[in-house]
A and B are shown apart, each in its own frame.
Chain A
Amino acid sequence: MEYVIEMLGITKEFPGIKANDNVTLQVEKGEIHALLGENGAGKSTLMSVLFGLYQPEAGIIKVRGQEVAISNPNIANKHGIGMVHQHFKLVENFTVTENIILGIEPMKSFSRVDTQKAAKKVLEISEKYGLSVDPNAKIEDISVGMQQRVEILKMLYRNAEILIFDEPTAVLTPQEIHELMGIMKELTNEGKSIVLITHKLKEIKLVANHCTVLRRGKYIGTVNVHETTENQMAEMMVGREVSFKVDKNEANIGDVVLSIQNLSVKNSRGLHAVKNLNLDFRAGEITCVAGIEGNGQTELVEAIVGLRKIESGKIFFKGTEIQNLNIRERTLCGIGHIPEDRHKYGLVLDFTLEENFILQTYFKEPYSKKGTLQVEEVRKYSEQLINEFDVRSGKGSVTEARSMSGGNQQKAIIARELERSPILLIAAQPTRGLDVGAIEYIHKRLVDERNKGKAVLLMSFEMEEVLNLADSIAVMYEGEVVGKVHANQTNENELGLMMSGSTRKEGELNE
């Protein structure tokens, strides 16, 4: 068999950790090769080595049978290797076209950039693969899904033959995921080869040919996807059996904790994102706010926690109005928040892990006494969270958050918010980017909170998570609640119809 890519015996160390330890990856031409592993297993690192971002301490890389040294991304490009990173690398205030041609701009006379020619080529490629983008829109104004299409176009514009996708589906809606899968298939039909990193076994089953599994930096094996099951792959990666079903008993539903009345909120572009919304959240219950991305869920959550101004309406928390309180006051009332955007709100990336753990409590005893930070107490607390939530990193408490793997960053945020055990926990996309083992654990912890009598507001775009975890579901469509149902009395189909705004089902729940 001919391999387009062979990575043999790759070892890459970071301070305190061997991110890759003698790893092998062999990709056949024209296939989709999945790369699977727990958070921090070294997937992104391995791909960064292939893309020339890191130099390995040991090992060789062969491209089309030829041994090569890839010392920087330009050389990777020359070998036809392109990469879409876990966290996109686009210039925010550049247009789509400018981002795509960045670094290889076509020129006309007097070294002016030939934007017309570029735009034409971009349009050609985007039409060919059904990657619809607005070539003149600025990156900061477009959705995450479109940003990703820009990243893909960037690779194709550079004639990449070997495409690396680092967790492309983590940030996409189910519809967009479906489209992306189609595009990837199309690309391989053309003879291009793809390495796909994902934590979603279903996706691997759906599109991949082979799957290579890493665990704690070590190579575990490569399997033929058609000859294996999701459970087998999960076991291979975690080293134990994983349960995909959430274990939960009957909810013991208590009083209304959060009551939203006639709430209207505008989005950043000044349009009404939440319209005259009424919704209650009760103690001892996991209530999911479901819907297709962009139907006002984000704005609703931001309004509840105080990150966004409201236009009109009231928010009651345990009977008292909180819409005029500031964020700190709401936090102290007993609201916890796992934010949707972990790099924007969730973490201070230049802080250490322990500094991030106290982000919501640094001003309280025992972490602060008389205005001074209590370093030992902070360290103790940090070690405890690291153990409890299995947050993996190179240097433990003093690791810079920036250098942690995406999934472990997410675990750190969840640990911080869950440990405070707030009366109302708002979890926006809590398991985005987590491996199946970690998801299992986080789901269990969320159910524990509910069993302790806390109210949980879950915001998720993932149908499976919604159905598995929620007790009741409120579906949002264009800023309104178009349906309220019990999780065990509905199915994917019904939810799907409500999410797309075609059916309504109201007033069934708790009223």
Chain B
Amino acid sequence: MNKFKAFISNDKNQKFLIPFIAVLSGFLVGVFILLITRENPIDIFRAILRAVFGIDLNKIGTGKAVFNPRYVGEYFVYAMPIILTGLSIAFAFRTGLFNIGSEGQVMVGSFASVLAGIYLDFPVFIHLPLVIISGALAGAIWGFVPGLLKAKFNVHEVVVGIMMNYSALHITNYFLRNLKGSDNVKTAMLPVTATLNSEFLSSITNKSRLHWGFIIVIISVFIFWFIIEKTTFGYELRSVGFNKNASKYAGMKVDRNTVLSMMISGAFSGLAGTIIAIGTFGYGRVLPGFENYGFDGIAVALLGGNTGLGSVFGGLLLGSLKAAQPIMQTMNIPRDIAIIIVSFIILFIAMQNGIKMILKKLGGAK
């Protein structure tokens, strides 16, 4: 018992205990709602099991295949971009900035990659890197604008970010429609030299859309961690995030760091757009509205405590709830339950100080 008390009141343990408790509580709320609406709460877990691991419990004993790896592949297709937008939001957060413009950066990232894919013509080992870099660069430019306005004129990055989101939506849609070979809803297919598609990955996951984008995700997580934790530049960014005045006192260029941080953050979002366009779909899409990759990134970053590895976990968790939604519908539970669960998890994360206090009370001597 005493060991338990010491365990829950230790600061280090609380770092992962709190997200864990938040997730648990979020699911409890979901279960509770299903109970009072007379649905079977076990069904959400069945749906998630099927969405994430491809295992369909209903098929046990029916003679049909219980395990379908396609689900696993599609799950990663859902999770990868929101891990990247999570990294994006988290990176800006560490410098004390709220990059709500992630959504727009995803769109311009997609667009730039499609553009480079369709109009350039190189062998794959040149073409593909160019396409990827175009996406990151476009995202960085879209992040540069709110960063610069914040640094120079102290305009809040959220206001500018939201405007940049709408601009991105309409501008990219206009150009996407007018590229060579486009129709009203999508562009021409990208040449193979410009995609991340993989016969191999697809074949081992029963023809899912799984693509090489996960390598980009892994490299991005590493870059995030390396910059923030290992470099002097990351030290400056964290310092600026915690205390602008002391950073100024120490001679750091607060304005320059603000701009750079937003640009790097934008690049991560841009990459999310890139892998959606050249990995998941293989063509550019004209969007009727926001797809919420950027907004999901906020939840991912929150869940992950604004760290690189945390964003991976956050993305995988949120991705599981997203991937489970269509399956839930086929099982006749409203998909809104998944959204409610996500919302409550975020709510509980936001209340982490309260959870901390309760843990301290439980762990305290008296």
Would you call A327 and B366 a contact (CB within 8 A)? no
Would you call A359 and B233 a contact (CB within 8 A)? no
Asked if A483 is at the interface of the complex by the 8 Å CB criterion, the answer is no
CB distance from A208 to the nearest CB of B (A): 31
Would you call B232 and A371 a contact (CB within 8 A)? yes
Residue interface mask A297-308, B partner, CB < 8 A = 1: 000000001010
Would you call A344 and B246 a contact (CB within 8 A)? yes
Asked if B243 is at the interface of the complex by the 8 Å CB criterion, the answer is yes
Asked if B239 is at the interface of the complex by the 8 Å CB criterion, the answer is yes
Asked if B152 is at the interface of the complex by the 8 Å CB criterion, the answer is no
Given A371-B232, A372-B231, decide whether A331 and B251 contact each other with a Cβ distance below 8 A: yes
A56, A69, A359, A371: which contacts B239 (Cβ < 8 A)?
Answer: A359
Would you call B242 and A327 a contact (CB within 8 A)? no
B233, B249, B364, B365: which contacts A327 (Cβ < 8 A)?
Answer: B249
Would you call B231 and A347 a contact (CB within 8 A)? no
Asked if B11 is at the interface of the complex by the 8 Å CB criterion, the answer is yes
Would you call A327 and B251 a contact (CB within 8 A)? yes
* Chain B interface size, under 10 / 10 to 19 / 20 to 34 / 35 or more: 20 to 34
B235, B243, B250, B251: which contacts A373 (Cβ < 8 A)?
Answer: B235
Closest B residue to A331 by CB, please name it: B251
Residues of chain B within 8 A (CB-CB) of A326 are 251, 253
Would you call A351 and B232 a contact (CB within 8 A)? no
Asked if A244 is at the interface of the complex by the 8 Å CB criterion, the answer is no
Would you call B242 and A348 a contact (CB within 8 A)? yes
Residue interface mask B1-41, A partner, CB < 8 A = 1: 00000000001000000000000000000000000000000
Given A349-B243, A355-B235, A359-B239, decide whether A307 and B249 contact each other with a Cβ distance below 8 A: yes
Residues of chain A within 8 A (CB-CB) of B233 are 371
Q: Which of A332-362 contact B (CB under 8 A)?
A: 337, 339, 344-351, 355, 359-360, 362
Asked if B245 is at the interface of the complex by the 8 Å CB criterion, the answer is yes
Residues of chain A within 8 A (CB-CB) of B250 are 327, 331, 359-360
Closest B residue to A332 by CB, please name it: B251
A55, A348, A355: which contacts B364 (Cβ < 8 A)?
Answer: A55
CB distance from A275 to the nearest CB of B (A): 25
**Interface residue tally for chain A (C-beta within 8 Å):** 33
Asked if B248 is at the interface of the complex by the 8 Å CB criterion, the answer is yes
Asked if B247 is at the interface of the complex by the 8 Å CB criterion, the answer is yes
Would you call B232 and A346 a contact (CB within 8 A)? no
Would you call B232 and A347 a contact (CB within 8 A)? no
CB distance from B322 to the nearest CB of A (A): 33
CB distance from A197 to the nearest CB of B (A): 25
Residues of chain A within 8 A (CB-CB) of B246 are 344-348, 359
Would you call B242 and A350 a contact (CB within 8 A)? yes
- Which interface residue of B230, B245, B250 has the most chain A CB atoms within 10 A? B250
Closest A residue to B233 by CB, please name it: A371
Asked if A15 is at the interface of the complex by the 8 Å CB criterion, the answer is yes
Residues of chain B within 8 A (CB-CB) of A348 are 239, 242-243, 246-247
Asked if A328 is at the interface of the complex by the 8 Å CB criterion, the answer is yes
Q: Which of A160-189 contact B (CB under 8 A)?
A: none
Residues of chain A within 8 A (CB-CB) of B236 are 362
Residues of chain B within 8 A (CB-CB) of A350 are 242-243
20 A-B pairs with CB atoms under 8 Å apart are: A55-B365, A58-B365, A327-B251, A328-B252, A330-B251, A337-B249, A339-B249, A345-B245, A345-B246, A346-B246, A348-B243, A348-B247, A355-B235, A359-B239, A359-B246, A360-B251, A362-B235, A371-B232, A371-B233, A373-B230
Q: Which residues of B contact A (CB under 8 A)?
A: 11, 230-233, 235-236, 238-239, 242-243, 245-253, 364-366
Q: Which residues of A contact B (CB under 8 A)?
A: 15, 55-58, 69, 305, 307, 326-331, 337, 339, 344-351, 355, 359-360, 362-363, 368, 371-373
With A345-B246, A346-B246 already in contact, 13 other A-B pairs whose C-beta atoms are closer than 8 Å: A57-B365, A58-B365, A307-B248, A326-B253, A327-B250, A348-B247, A350-B243, A359-B239, A359-B246, A359-B250, A363-B232, A371-B233, A373-B230
